[in-house]
Amino acid sequence: MKKRYVYINDNDLSEDLYCDNRISNRKYTFLNFLPKNLSEQFSRFMNQYFLLIACLQLWSLITPVNPASTWGPLLFIFAVSATKEAWDDYNRYLSDKFANEKQVWVVKQGVKTHIQAQEVHVGNIVWLRENDEVPCDLVLIGTSDPQGTCYIETAALDGETDLKMRVIPSACMGLVPELLHKIKGVIECPSPDKDIRRFDANMRLFPPFIDNDLCPLTINNTLLQSCYLRNTEWACGVAVYTGNETKLGMSRGIPEPKLTAMDAMIDKLTGAIFLFQIVVVIVLGISGNVWKDSEARKQWYVLYPNEGPWYELLVIPLRFELLCSIMIPISIKVSLDLVKSMYAKFIDWDKEMYDQQTDTPALAANTAISEDLGQVEYILTDKTGTLTENRMIFKKCCINGIFYGNESGDALTDVELLNAVDSHNPDVIRFLTVMAICNTVIPMKRKSGTILYKAQSQDEDALVNAAAQLHMVFLNKNANVLEVNFNGVILKYEVLDTLEFTSDRKRMSVVVKDCQNEKIFLLSKGADETILPCASSGQQIRTLTEAVEQYAQLGLRTLCMAWRELREDEYHEWSLMFKEANSTLVDREWKLAEVCQRLEHDLVILGVSAIEDRLQDGVPETIETLRNAGINFWMLTGDKQNTAIQIALLCNFISPEPKGQLLLINGKTEDEVSRSLERVLLTMRITSSEPKDVAFVVDGWALEIALKHYRRAFTELAILSRTAICCRVTPSQKAQLVELLKSCDYRTLAIGDGGNDVRMIQTADIGVGISGREGMQAARAADYSIGKFRFLKRLILVHGRYSYNRTAFLSQYSFYKSLLICFIQILFSFISGISGTSLFNSVSLMAYNVFYTSIPVLASVLDKDLSEKTVMQNPQILFYCQAGRLLNPSTFAGWFGRSLFHAVVVFLISIHVYAYEKSEMEELAMVALSGCIWLQAFVVTMETK
């Protein structure tokens, strides 16, 4: 792994080694805009085709019309696209300029100086005041707090609105502000990356500040770019990553455009029409050359020479190629871009998708894929915060085999539990202590004297508040010293080490020293599957296992609490290993997990907590409606199996027995998973023809084995099943399941609300984020963001259907009008000696290419082929939408045949006029053509009524 060495307060070295803090999100520069934009536009076959046609028209010998008839529309369309790109890039430039020119304080030659943010270099010491924005990634070295702590708001970085505490490294403890101006040292850190949750580095200060001991650094010692300093008078840090090399800068970038099913189909149609055009050109070219040799040379007024150049045979075919080039509509791309932008605005403006409770409107971040909403076949959804409110309420608990809250329905009002607290029951007191201090919660005292808890996890917030209601009040956190008020008695604990929660460990622990008796304890909480196996050998956990199952049957979220007293020598020996693992720069997370496992064993299991997470309003109705529309649902959650099944039943994912049937895929080994998978597949094949509602349930362990060793069988199961419940899955497994369904050519939509859903959302064809209590990470990464899950019904059934049908109409219509005028030209060629003469003049063709773009655009935007009420009441209509008018071969043949019929009509009108008044033939032909086009717009629109 590459490393970077940051020399603290050494301006000469930092300016030479690394870039300055200039931020640039621009896609283009002044010099590369034209070639880069043209390269992007000509990457599409359609644009390459029209460039070829335009270049051929420059050959005066073969062009039957003025080159302006193609060059004009081509330049117009390219100019529109280039102008849009240039405007977007200019806005990015203005945003960058505003950020780069902000004023910040840095230390130069021992003196604080005011400079622009773009002039900050790696190694500079940056000073921040309260409410200042962090200009680059800093390693914190000093704060106004005597304990070396500060608070930051990371909403702009990860969407979390809760304050997070940051601490200065141990090497900088006790340094006064005057010394911070003169501090020297080196920070050894990894090369820039975009992982905002990790920073594995070491710092060494030079004498006289400290000896050469190595001080490990983590993400808790950093202030990342775009965070804000809160509730802290001042803080200072060393710049380690600047400019586009910050963690935020590395994660920026312009997302790759997604290709919709409609775009893919248009490309196929373009290719098919191109092949048809080649056939027409060959036939007409051969016929024209035969007529020229047999008839034209006999006519004295044609003035054909007896002998021509070697390429004479190519002249007539190339003329017909130019005449038939209008078969492929030159304006379709800009027309689609325009109407898709309007569809996105319709979503933004929809008041019925506005969440008044959170003041959150719907937002379409991606303007290019609205029609895919009307073709969704699979929806993969998170549970917590997506289907549920993510408002955790402590409901029940089981402590030392005693169940609390079963009779009253609420453990916090259970008389038995309150009496146990008042009588200082040791097991209950330890259980409440773990609830109160085994967390990362920050207590904030309001002006009124009450305490507000800032928690990164809603589970932790519920546990700490519940402990406070049971008289175990978490009062204060000064550096590593925690203060807890229990029935008027202040208890103090010193946090020695924190074993942080990870998705792999599924638990967190803290090592604390009781300041009253100097004893050292390990306090742990986590999922039952990771805590119960760590229980001491003689402990009976049968009652606790039953409690977990019972609470899961009620749809409650469970956590197990445990503790263990540590010997002092045992802790010191382990602490050295923990410090060594914490200082490594390679595989730090893996080594830390291994060291943590050495301590988390022989635990005394205190009990189980059960937290309720209520369903959002309208979730069951929304899922039932979308399932009736033919859309399949998969629920992907980190919760245990029974909890997920109960939520699925409440949400109408599956039907209860006997109408519904649940098939379980379990196993810890390959053989067990293989047998379970075969049994479920056999049942699925048998019941696939029956109306029974069948779903399968799989946990993360079995899923990992199935995806790795039995992918083909699991893929078959995914095709057969309409509903799946995947439990205990990790963020990477969620993304793998989306890729699995996409590999089966299904159109997928992923919806979630938390940072653990981002990979799933970005992998799916359509990503929808919910602006929930877990922050804005999912909403920022998604194509569409909504305030509540229930708005998904309107997003798909109304906006998705309208967008798809309007785009289908526009695409058909664009091809129709192009084929219509092309067929007229082909028919005319048979009475013009098959010579490649154009029926229409150049001005008419150019006006046609440009003006008639607005007709289908206007018609598609105004078209409402079925009322919203009808679609909502009859969601089965979505089947018609998914079948697709554009994808239906009979439909293709329909507008192909109509365009030929109308071409004959217009041509006959033109010939009739030609017999009486030659000069008016072209004008009347264009009038007749216009009438047919407007008539066809009306007919196609009415066909969907």
Sequence letter at residue 664: L
Sign of CA dihedral 186, 191, 192, 197: negative
Which spans in 440-527 are helix H? Answer: 458-469
Say how far apart CA 709 and CA 825 lie, in whole Å: 60
Q: Which of 773, 787, 741, 788 is nearest to 760 (CA)?
A: 741
Chain center to CA of 179: 45
Residue 529 and residue 523 in contact, taking contact as beta carbons nearer than 8 Å:
no
Other CB atoms within 10 A of residue 551 CB: 28
912 SS3 class? helix
307 SS3 class? coil
Q: Is 557 annotated as a binding residue?
A: yes
Say how far apart CA 470 and CA 481 lie, in whole Å: 22
Tell me how far CA of residue 280 lies from CA of 276, 326, 822, 835, in angstroms: 6, 13, 11, 14
- 382 catalytically annotated: yes
Lookup result for tokens 């309260």: 130
Distance between the two ends of the chain, CA-based, in angstroms?
A: 63
Say how far apart CA 680 and CA 702 lie, in whole Å: 13
548 SS3 class? helix
Say how far apart CA 763 and CA 776 lie, in whole Å: 18
Phi then psi for residue 723, to 5 deg, are -135, 140
What burial letters (b/e) apply to 576-600, b meaning 16+ CB within 10 Å? ebbeebbbeeeebbebbbebbeebb
Say how far apart CA 450 and CA 313 lie, in whole Å: 93
Residue 643 and residue 555 in contact, taking contact as beta carbons nearer than 8 Å:
yes
DSSP state of 863: -
Q: Is 383 annotated as a binding residue?
A: yes
Residue 849 and residue 73 in contact, taking contact as beta carbons nearer than 8 Å:
yes
DSSP lists the bridge partners of residue 402 as 399
Lookup result for tokens 């209509």: 877
Q: Is 757 annotated as a binding residue?
A: yes
581 SS3 class? helix
Q: Is 447 annotated as a binding residue?
A: no
728 SS3 class? coil
Which regions of 433-506 does DSSP assign to beta strands (E)?
Answer: 442-445, 451-454, 472-478, 481-486, 489-499
Tell me how far CA of residue 341 lies from CA of 21, 188, 486, 800, 804, in angstroms: 35, 48, 59, 14, 13
Tell me how far CA of residue 764 lies from CA of 258, 746, 748, 831, in angstroms: 10, 10, 6, 55
Q: How many helices (H) and strands (E) does the chain have?
A: 33, 33
Phi then psi for residue 455, to 5 deg, are -125, 140
Which spans in 632-669 are helix H? Answer: 641-650
Sign of CA dihedral 84, 89, 93, 99: positive
Residue 522 and residue 600 in contact, taking contact as beta carbons nearer than 8 Å:
yes
Other CB atoms within 10 A of residue 263 CB: 20
Phi-psi region of 927 (alpha: psi -120 to 50; beta: other; left: phi over 0): alpha
Q: Is 129 annotated as a binding residue?
A: no
Q: Is 753 annotated as a binding residue?
A: yes
Q: Which of 743, 742, 681, 731 is nearest to 706 (CA)?
A: 681
Out of 382, 459, 528, 613, which one is annotated catalytic? 382
Sequence letter at residue 670: E
Q: Is 637 annotated as a binding residue?
A: yes
Sign of CA dihedral 551, 402, 566, 539: negative
Say how far apart CA 734 and CA 758 lie, in whole Å: 10
Which residues contribute to the annotated binding site for ATP?
382-384, 460, 501, 525, 557, 637-639, 728, 734, 756-757
Q: Which residues are catalytically annotated? A: 382
Which residues contribute to the annotated binding site?
382-384, 460, 501, 525, 557, 637-639, 728, 734, 753, 756-757
Which residues contribute to the annotated binding site for Mg(2+)?
382, 384, 753, 757
